């Protein structure tokens, strides 16, 4: 993550570098702790997606697309959805795993939709 | 009492969001409606819903600001205001009438019927091994609901990607 010209200013980039990991860890905490305390797969998945969106708003689209692009995210979400279906067929007592699968579907799905919307807006404004 | 204050604040913020000519101010007023809803969930002792509501509101504000900034949307200000006003009042009267008959059937606020839920509260930890009651209900007792919900979400994602994909838009030209 170099300070190239795309994205926002140097101040935003520096603060993003400090905070984005904390947001990601908080999202994972919400997902994994959802069977013991307040939280849920949906909220945790969106927090994980928001950390990637945060990275993308600060550093520009190219910095994030190297890590995960639309096709990769869609494959990831599809595999997680199949895992959730398999766990649902297996029966109860596997709730934490089902939570993680649902969170992956929600997080990658929301992020992929955000990427598609950004690409659409960028193309319209040209 | 606090709940009524929050509801009045939400109505005022929604009116501001509708009437504001500037798009960014409108989005911020709309996000304050969501914040009020989150506070109402917290007051009604539903922290799971409050967390989800807050997170979805943040995502919504980011998407709306990113989508509406630097773009002028075609807004129709004049013409057909008589028809619009009359139809709006008709819909409001219709809604209030149905709400009057519907709310009479509901149990009183604060005194819920505990037919199914008392069984859930008593047996959920023993049956599922999950301490959080909401997770136990959504992922075990109503897991088919969660499965259908995930199917709807997945279909929506596939639909958005199919509409906005690059190959389809190149072929249009």
Nearest to B159 by CA among A86, A85, A74, A125: A74
Mean pLDDT in residue range A24-42 = 85
Q: Is the pLDDT of residue B35 over 90?
A: yes
Are B138 and B145 in contact by the 8 Å Cβ rule? The answer is yes
Encode A94-117: b = buried (16+ Cβ within 10 Å), e = exposed. ebbebbbbbbbbbbbbbbbbbbbe
Split at pLDDT 50, 70, 90, the class of B91 is: very high
Spatial distance between the Cα atoms of A24 and A7, rounded to a whole number of angstroms = 20
Examine the predicted complex and report whether its ipTM is higher than 0.85.
no
Question: Is residue B39 included in any domain, yes or no?
Answer: yes
Question: Is residue B170 included in any domain, yes or no?
Answer: no
Question: Is residue B169 included in any domain, yes or no?
Answer: no
Residue of chain A with shortest Cα separation from B139: A95
pLDDT digits (tens, 9 = 90+) for A52-76: 998 988 888 888 888 888 888 889 8
Question: Is residue B30 included in any domain, yes or no?
Answer: yes
First to last CA, chain B: 59
pLDDT for residue A24:
93
Mean pLDDT in residue range B18-33 = 88
pLDDT for residue B74:
60
Closest approach of chain B CAs to the CA of A101, in angstroms?
10
Give the number of beta-carbon pairs within 8 Å between A and B.
112
Question: Is residue B149 included in any domain, yes or no?
Answer: yes
Q: pTM for this one?
A: 0.82
pLDDT for residue A90:
78
Closest approach of chain B CAs to the CA of A20, in angstroms?
15
Tell which A residues from 47 to 66 touch B, by Cβ distance under 8 Å: 47, 49-50, 53, 57
Computed over every residue of chain B, the mean pLDDT equals 84
pLDDT for residue B73:
60
Query: Across the interface, do A92 and B164 touch by the CB < 8 Å criterion?
Result: no
pLDDT for residue B41:
93
Question: Is residue B112 included in any domain, yes or no?
Answer: no
pLDDT digits (tens, 9 = 90+) for B129-173: 777 888 888 887 888 888 888 889 899 988 988 888 766 555 555
- Report how many domains make up chain B: 1
Question: Between B139, B144, B154, which is nearest A105 by CB?
Answer: B154
Q: Is the pLDDT of residue B127 over 50?
A: yes
Question: Between A40, A92, A120, which is nearest B48 by CB?
Answer: A40
Neighbour tally for B65: CB within 10 Å? 15
Q: Is the pLDDT of residue A35 over 90?
A: no
pLDDT for residue A1:
47
Q: Higher confidence at residue A23 or residue B106?
A: A23
Q: Is the pLDDT of residue B94 over 90?
A: yes
Question: Is residue B130 included in any domain, yes or no?
Answer: yes
Q: Give me the DSSP letters along B143-162.
A: HHHHHHHHHHHHHHHHHHHH
pLDDT for residue B164:
80
Domain that holds residue B150: 2-72+80-107+117-164
């Amino acid at each position: 993550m170099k300070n190239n010209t795309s994205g926002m200013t140097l101040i935003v980039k520096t603060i993003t570098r400090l905070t984005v990991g904390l947001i990601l860890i908080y999202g994972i905490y919400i997902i994994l702790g959802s069977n013991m305390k307040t939280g849920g797969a949906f909220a945790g998945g969106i927090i994980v997606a928001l950390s990637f969106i945060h990275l993308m708003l600060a550093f520009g689209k190219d910095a994030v697309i190297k890590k995960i692009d639309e096709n990769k995210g869609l494959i990831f979400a599809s595999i997680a959805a199949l895992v959730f279906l398999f766990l649902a067929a297996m029966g109860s007592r596997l709730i934490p795993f089902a939570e993680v699968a649902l969170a992956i579907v929600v997080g990658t799905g929301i992020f992929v939709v955000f990427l598609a919307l950004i690409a659409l807006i960028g193309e319209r404004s040209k | 009492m606090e709940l009524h204050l929050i509801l009045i604040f939400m109505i005022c913020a929604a009116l501001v969001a509708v009437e504001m000519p500037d798009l960014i101010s409108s989005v911020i007023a709309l996000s304050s409606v969501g914040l009020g809803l989150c506070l109402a969930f917290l007051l009604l002792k539903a922290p799971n819903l409050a967390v989800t509501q807050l997170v979805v509101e943040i995502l919504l504000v980011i998407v709306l600001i990113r989508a509406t900034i630097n773009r002028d949307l075609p807004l129709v200000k004049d013409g057909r205001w008589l028809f619009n006003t009359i139809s709006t009042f008709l819909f409001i009267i219709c809604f209030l009438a149905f709400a009057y008959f519907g709310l009479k059937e509901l149990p009183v606020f604060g005194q819920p019927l505990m037919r199914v839920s008392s069984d859930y509260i008593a047996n959920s930890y023993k049956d599922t091994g999950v301490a959080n009651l909401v997770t136990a209900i959504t992922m075990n007792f109503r897991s088919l609901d969660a499965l259908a919900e995930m199917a709807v979400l997945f279909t929506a994602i596939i639909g958005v990607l199919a509409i906005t994909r690059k190959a389809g838009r190149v072929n249009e030209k």
